[in-house]
Amino acid sequence: MNQEFAIQAKNISKTFHISEDSHNTVKHRLFNIFNPPRSKKVEALKMMNFEVKKGECIGLIGRNGSGKSTLTKILAGVYPTDTGHININGSTLLMNLGVGMSHELTARENVYVSASVLGLKIKEIDEIFDKIIEFAELKEFVDTKIKFYSSGMVARLGFSIAVNAGADIMFLDEIFAVGDMKFQEKAVKVFESSWIEGKTVILVSHSMDTIQKYCQRSAYMKHGKMEFFGETEKAVEMYLADNN
């Protein structure tokens, strides 16, 4: 892989097969064994190629259902591709309301699991654990399973892990649109601090102001296709033109 790039994606695509059968139960299947459930194909991502340089902050925009979240999950390793291949140069973390964290584990357990995935050793996690919990403002809930958390609490935990554990490549999916105003202000402050320098960021947002403020280049997606990948101003113009 060319060391200049953090991400290289070639000929990638993804299709989901969604059941159309509203009676998808064991009983229904048993008595309709010769009538397999019908399914429809949804092309979530159509063939695409792109590269992201190390240290770039790339915007990813498009209407709901355009394929933005599917693409970020594929790049972060949550979903496999159907075709093509992706080269990732560095450790990654997806920030999307706790995707990648187990809701059956406590905040304490998730910190250790997530930070370990990023390559940190137990001793290193011990050293930053209190800082992670303090930043996330979850001291009173550190040993509570996160399935009992609000979406804002999960977002705070995930963002704090990402900030303090130091992923090389960050996928931030609407991270500035969740949690309370106090946390959003803190997230923006950290994002703008020296911590972000040198990091590669894929920023998914419906806020064009946010995209234009932080992203040098942006990708505009429509119906699973990457319509444009280049100068942010042009990507935003295309997005706004299609949504008027």
- Position 97 scores a pLDDT of 45
Average pLDDT across the chain, whole number: 85
Q: How many CB atoms lie within 10 A of CB 213?
A: 14
What are the tens digits of pLDDT across the range 177-219? 656 777 778 777 777 775 566 788 898 888 899 899 999 899 9
Separation of CA 197 from chain center: 19
Terminal CA-CA length for the chain: 41
* 5-9+48-242 homologous superfamily: P-loop containing nucleotide triphosphate hydrolases (3.40.50.300)
- Position 119 scores a pLDDT of 78
Average pLDDT (157-173) is 80
Global pTM value: 0.77
DSSP letter string over 90-148? S-EEEESTTTTS-TTSBHHHHHHHHHHHTT--HHHHHHHHHHHHHHHT-GGGTTSBGGG
- Position 211 scores a pLDDT of 93
* Domain range list for the chain: 5-9+48-242
Task: Assess contact for 205 and 211: CB atoms under 8 A.
Answer: yes
What are the tens digits of pLDDT across the range 46-93? 999 999 999 899 999 999 999 998 998 898 888 899 999 999 987 776
Average pLDDT (23-47) is 72
- Which pair of tokens denotes residue 156? 């705070």
- Position 173 scores a pLDDT of 76
- Which pair of tokens denotes residue 139? 């001291």
